[in-house]
Amino acid sequence: MAEPYKIVIGLEVHVQLLTKTKLFCSCPNKFGLPPNSAVCPVCLGLPGSLPVMNRQAFDLALKAALALNCQIASHADQKPGFTKWDRKNYYYPDLPKNYQISQYDLPFSHDGFLDINVHPDPKKGYTAKKVGIIRAHLEEDAGKNIHDESGRGGDTRVDLNRTGTPLLEIVSHPDMNSPEEAIAYLEEIRLMLRELGVSDCEMQEGSLRCDANVNVHIPKADEPKGYAATPLVEIKNLNSFRSVGRAITYEAKRQYEQFQKDPVGYRIDKLLKTTAGWDDPRGRTEVQRHKEEAADYRYFPEPDLVPVIVTKEQLDAVKATMGELPQAQRQRLQTQYGLSPSDAEVFVAKGRKTVAYLEEVAKIVGDGKAAANRISDLVFPALNERKEEIDEFPVTAAAYADFVKQTGSLNKQDRVDVFKIVLEKGVSVEDAKTAAGIKAVDESALRESAKAAIAANAKAVADFKAGKDSAKMAIVGFVMKNNKGAPNDVVRKLVDEELAKV
Partner 1 sequence: MSLTEKTAAELLALQAAGKASAVEITDAFLASIADRDQKVQAFMHVEGANAKAVAAVIDAKRKSGAKLGALAGVPIAIKDVLCTKGIPTTCSSKILEGFVPPYDATVVARLKAADAILIGKTNMDEFAMGSSTENSAYKTTRNPWDPERIPGGSSGGSAAAVAACLAPVSLGTDTGGSIRQPASLCGIVGIKPTYGRVSRYGMIAFASSLDQIGPFTHDVYDNALLMEIISGFDPHDATSVNQPVPAYTKTLNDKVEGLRIGVPKEFFGEGLDSEVEAAIRTALKEYEKLGAKLIDVSLPHSSYAVSVYYIVATAEASSNLARFDGMHYGHRTKQKADLIGTYAKSRGEAFGKEVQRRIMLGTYALSSGYKDAYYLKALKVRRLIKNDFDAAFEKCDVIMGPTAPTAAFKKGEKSDNPLAMYLSDIYTISCNLAGIAGLSIPCGFTKTNLPIGLQLLSPPFDEERMLRVARMYEAATDWHTKRPTV
Binding site for partner 1 (CB under 8 A): 41, 44-53, 87, 89, 91, 93, 96-99, 158, 294, 296, 298-300, 303-306
**Least distance to partner 1 from the beta carbon of 305, Å?**
5
| Closer residue to partner 1 (CB): 95 or 454 | 95
Query: How many other CB atoms sit within 10 Å of the CB of residue 205?
Result: 11
**Least distance to partner 1 from the beta carbon of 151, Å?**
18
**Least distance to partner 1 from the beta carbon of 94, Å?**
10
**Least distance to partner 1 from the beta carbon of 419, Å?**
57
How far from 500 is each of 164, 464, 472, 493, CA to CA, in Å?
Answer: 77, 11, 11, 11
State how far the Cα of 285 lies from the Cα of 431, in Å rounded to an integer.
60
**Least distance to partner 1 from the beta carbon of 2, Å?**
42
| Closer residue to partner 1 (CB): 20 or 465 | 20
Query: DSSP for 290-336?
Result: E-SS------EE-TTS--EE--HHHHHHHHHTT---HHHHHHHHHHH
State how far the Cα of 442 lies from the Cα of 212, in Å rounded to an integer.
64
**Least distance to partner 1 from the beta carbon of 170, Å?**
25
| Closer residue to partner 1 (CB): 100 or 449 | 100
DSSP reduced 3-state for 236? strand
**Least distance to partner 1 from the beta carbon of 47, Å?**
4
| Closer residue to partner 1 (CB): 227 or 299 | 299
Decide the pairing of beta strands 86-89 and 99-102. Answer: antiparallel
DSSP reduced 3-state for 50? coil
**Least distance to partner 1 from the beta carbon of 38, Å?**
15
| Closer residue to partner 1 (CB): 92 or 205 | 92
| Closer residue to partner 1 (CB): 32 or 47 | 47
Per residue in 377-397, is it b (16+ CB within 10 Å) or e — as a string?
A: ebbeebbeeeeeebeebebeb
Whether residue 179 contacts residue 197, with contact meaning beta carbons closer than 8 Å, is answered with no
| Closer residue to partner 1 (CB): 19 or 243 | 19
| Closer residue to partner 1 (CB): 21 or 117 | 21
Query: DSSP for 53-71?
Result: --HHHHHHHHHHHHHTT-E
Cβ-based neighbours of 174, under 8 Å, separated by 6 or more: 8, 9, 10, 213
